Amino acid sequence: MTEIIFFFAVLVPGGATIIPEECSAENNSVTIAWQQHSQSYVEGHILEIDDGNNGPFRVVYCGKETICTIDGLHFHSMYNARVKSFNSTGEGPYSDCIALQTAEVAWFMLDVTDAHPDLVFTNDNQTATCNSYDDRVVLGNIGFSKGVHYWEVVIDRYDNHPDPAFGIARFDVTKDAMLGKDDKGWSMYIDSKRSWFIHNNQHSERSEGGVGVGAVVGVLLDLDRHTLSFFVNDEPHGPVAFADLHGVYYPAISLNRNVTMTLHTGLDPPSDAEGSESSGISAAQ
């Protein structure tokens, strides 16, 4: 009896299809969903996005799943995404692109997962106080590397003239000292009468005017101009604080048990922000 063996050629997959109604953008993250070609043998998929500025595509996912969320993108940017399937024979064609817009302004909260244990959080992690008389640092849960970002902190309780600090930090900033004591924090610290800028334990630009209960401190991080500026009660406070800022920065505050503060995000910059930044006053380095 003669045995007959059939051989079947495995073809490269047909084109995958992105499913627009299952794709979304939230804050600085995008989620992309797709389906493989129904008549193709598929071993996996390759998802690519561009740089948010019509630049080159890069691979952000390779695997068997058909949905992927990409975090840590730039705000206020339009990202294009495409996907292709592959098997042992080769790669199929790219899908049509989908364009997804990240949020224009950032909504974020205090990052309790990496905060100092002396800190106490309420109000959906928007309000913070402290159990220690020493300063403790907490970061926001989103980092920025591009664009203009503004947020405010309201002083809810202010006892015994503490000097809370407001500003930005690298993710590995020291958490058990005032923000700005090391080289990974940039801040303005302020008491009931005056304020200073501080970075790497270098103090500069004393300015008159302090805070109390109900005061609102605004932080303007302009990574298009690479500067950091501050506001108190909607008015510019001091000159541009810091310049030549490059890389990824997280919103940050430091406080002790004498103060309670609430964070407000998703805000547009003050109307006179441009004037304060272009005043020509030198910034602290």
Q: How far apart are the first and last CA of the chain?
A: 88
What CA–CA distance (Å, rounded) separates 24 from 252? Answer: 28
Query: How far from chain centre, in Å, is Cα 248?
Result: 8
In sequence order, which residues have a C-beta less than 8 Å from that of residue 120 and are 6 or more positions away? 128, 129, 130, 131
Neighbouring C-beta atoms of residue 159, cutoff 10 Å: 11
Q: What is the tens place of the pLDDT at every residue in 197-234?
A: 999 999 999 999 999 999 999 999 999 999 999 999 99
Give the model's pLDDT for residue 285. Answer: 39
Distances (CA, A) of 124 to 108, 111, 185, 196: 11, 11, 25, 30
In this structure, the chain runs to a length of 285
Beta bridge pairs of residue 236: 231
Sheet with 78-86, strands from edge to edge, namely 58-63, 44-49, 78-86, 98-101
Give the model's pLDDT for residue 8. Answer: 60
User: Average pLDDT in the 55-81 region?
Assistant: 93
Between strands 259-267 and 148-158, the pairing is antiparallel
Give the model's pLDDT for residue 7. Answer: 53
The single residue listed with the structure tokens 């009660």 is 233
Q: Do residues 113 and 41 touch, judged by C-beta distance below 8 A?
A: no
Q: What is the tens place of the pLDDT at every residue in 147-195?
A: 899 999 999 999 999 999 999 999 999 999 999 999 999 999 999 999 9
Give the model's pLDDT for residue 280. Answer: 33
In which band, very low, low, confident or very high, does the pLDDT at 246 lie, cut at 50, 70 and 90? very high
* Helix residue ranges per DSSP H, the chain: 273-277
Q: What is the tens place of the pLDDT at every residue in 74-123?
A: 888 899 999 999 999 999 999 999 999 998 888 999 999 989 999 999 99
Under DSSP, the state recorded for 10 is P
Tokens of 162: 């503490």
Q: What is the mean pLDDT of the chain?
A: 91
Q: Is the pLDDT of residue 282 over 50?
A: no
Query: 165, 162, 135, 140: which is closest to 151 by C-alpha?
Result: 140
What CA–CA distance (Å, rounded) separates 233 from 216? Answer: 5
**Residue 118: CA atoms inside 13 Å, Cβ hemisphere, count?**
16
User: Average pLDDT in the 138-142 region?
Assistant: 95
Q: Do residues 70 and 109 touch, judged by C-beta distance below 8 A?
A: no
Q: Is the pLDDT of residue 281 over 90?
A: no
What pTM was estimated for this model as a whole? 0.80
Under DSSP, the state recorded for 22 is G
Q: Do residues 95 and 83 touch, judged by C-beta distance below 8 A?
A: yes
Tokens of 164: 């809370």
Distances (CA, A) of 49 to 28, 97, 166: 14, 9, 35
